[in-house]
A and B are shown apart, each in its own frame.
Chain A
Amino acid sequence: MTELKNNAQSNAAPPAETEKPAKVWLREVVEKVYQDAWDAKERGEPVGWSASKFPAEIAETLGLRVCYPENQAAAIAAKHGGQRMCEYAEALGYDNDICGYARISLAYAAGAGGDERPMPQPDFVLCCNNICNCMTKWYENLARMHDIPLIMIDIPYNNTDEVNEENITYIKAQFDDAIKQLEEISGRKFDEDKFAEVCANANRTAQAWLKACSYCQYKPSPLSGFDLFNHMADVVTARCRKESAEAFEALAEEYERNVAEGKSTWRYDENHRIMFEGIPCWPELQKLFKPLKEKGINTTAVVYAPAFGFVYNNMEEMIRAYCKAPNSVCLETGVEWREGICRENKVDGVLVHYNRSCKPWSGYMPEMERRFRKNLGVGVVGFDGDQADPRNFSEAQYNTRVQGLFEIMEAQKKGE
Chain B
Amino acid sequence: MSNKIENLLNRFAEAAEQPKRQLDAHIAAGKKVIGCYPYYAPEELVHATGMVPMGLWGKPGSPNKAKEYFASFYCSLVQMNLEMALSGELDQLSGVIHSTLCDTLRPGSQNFRIAIEQIPMIFLAHPQNRKPDYGKEYTRVIYTKILNQLEDIAGRKASPEDLAKAIRVFNRSRKARREFVKLAGQHPELVTAVQRSQVLKSTFFMEKSEHTAWLEELNQLLAAAPAVDWPGVKIVTSGIIADSPELLGIFDDLKIAIVADDIAHESRAIRIDAAEDKDPMEALAEQFAEQDQDPLLYDPAINSRPPHIVEMVRQSGAQGVVVLMMTFCDPEEMEYPSLMKGLKEANIPLLKIGYDHQIKDFGQARTSLEAFADVLSMRA
Contacts and interface: CB of A to CB of B under 8 A. Distances in A.
A169 B103 CA distance: 24
B71 A95 contact: no
B109 A170 contact: no
Contacts of A153: 129
A210 interface: no
A129 B128 contact: yes
Interface of B: 68-71, 73-74, 100-104, 106-111, 113-115, 123, 125-129, 132, 134-135, 137-138, 141-142, 295, 298-300, 302-303, 325, 327-328, 330-331, 333-338, 340-341
A320 to B, nearest CB: 16
A359 B74 contact: yes
A166 B285 CA distance: 14
A364 B135 contact: no
B281 to A, nearest CB: 13
Given A134-B103, A136-B298, A362 B111 contact: no
A154 B110 CA distance: 20
A359 B334 CA distance: 14
A102 B337 CA distance: 13
A363 B302 contact: no
Contacts of A140: 298-299, 302-303
B334 A354 contact: no
Contact of B125 (A95, A134, A157): A157
Contact of A174 (B109, B134, B325, B330): B134
Contact of B111 (A137, A143, A367): A367
Nearest to A96: B333
Given A140-B302, A156-B126, A367-B111, 12 more contacts: A93-B341, A95-B325, A95-B336, A97-B328, A137-B330, A137-B331, A157-B106, A169-B138, A170-B129, A359-B104, A360-B106, A364-B107
A94 B352 CA distance: 13
Contacts of A134: 103, 330, 334
A363 B298 contact: no
Contact of A138 (B104, B114, B138, B334): B334
A327 interface: yes
B242 to A, nearest CB: 18
A159 B102 contact: no
A98 B102 CA distance: 13
5 contacts: A133-B101, A154-B128, A173-B132, A363-B71, A366-B71
A129 B334 CA distance: 15
Contacts of A133: 101-103, 106, 331
A159 B125 CA distance: 9
A156 B128 CA distance: 8
A95 B107 contact: no
Contact of A363 (B103, B333, B337): B103
A154 B129 contact: yes
Contact of B100 (A138, A157, A331): A157
Interface string A139-152: 01101100000101
Q: What bracket does the count of chain A residues touching chain B fall in?
A: 35 or more
B106 A152 contact: no
B307 to A, nearest CB: 12
Contact of A367 (B110, B300, B303, B336): B110
A150 B302 CA distance: 8
A98 B330 contact: yes
A92 B337 contact: yes
A330 interface: yes
Contacts of B135: 170
Given A140-B298, A143-B302, A360-B106, A170 B333 contact: no
A363 B141 contact: no
B109 A144 contact: no
Nearest to B141: A166
B113 to A, nearest CB: 7
Nearest to B144: A166
Nearest to A328: B106
A19 to B, nearest CB: 45
A382 B323 CA distance: 35
Q: Most A CB atoms within 10 A — which of B115, B129, B338?
A: B129
A144 B341 CA distance: 12
Interface string A66-104: 000000000000000000000000001111011100100
A173 B333 contact: no
B333 A362 contact: no
A152 B110 contact: no
A158 B125 contact: yes
Contacts of A384: 71
A166 B128 contact: no
Contacts of A93: 336-337, 340-341
Contact of A152 (B298, B328, B334): B298
Contact of A359 (B69, B101, B103): B103
Contacts of B338: 141, 144
